[in-house]
């Protein structure tokens, strides 16, 4: 499910998260992150487990450090 999702509808969201983790937060080397995503999209390798972990990390950091969440998520988890 996630393997195909990161090749299709989640591809740009994953790219945004990986770029944020590399450019903004300095947690990843951008060349590694983009290369991994491109190899996954092309089918050259399957990296969906790592992509899922990294996008989840970025969502967590956005919510906890930046106080910004993806559209609709803040309302869904508001107490």
Residue 55, domain extent: 2-73
Question: How many structural domains does the chain have?
Answer: 1
- Residue 35 domain flag: yes
**Sequence-distant (≥ 6) Cβ neighbours of residue 75 within 8 angstroms:** none
**Is residue 78 a part of any domain in this protein?**
no
* Mean pLDDT of successive 10-residue stretches along the chain, which has 79 residues: 90 96 95 96 95 95 78 55
Task: Note the pLDDT tens digit of each residue in 44-60.
Answer: 999 999 999 999 999 99
Non-local CB neighbours of 2 within 8 Å, separated by 6+ positions: 10, 48, 49, 51, 52
pTM of model > 0.85: no
State the burial class of residue 15 (Cβ atoms within 10 Å of its Cβ: 0-12, 13-18, 19+). Answer: middle
């Amino acid at each position: 499910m996630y393997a195909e999702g990161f090749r299709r509808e989640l591809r740009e969201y994953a790219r945004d998260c990986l770029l944020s983790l590399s450019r903004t937060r300095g947690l990843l080397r951008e060349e590694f992150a983009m290369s991994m995503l491109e190899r996954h999209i092309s089918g050259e390798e399957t990296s969906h487990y790592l992509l899922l972990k990294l996008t989840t990390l970025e969502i967590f950091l956005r919510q906890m450090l930046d106080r910004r969440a993806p559209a609709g998520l803040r309302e869904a988890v508001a107490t």
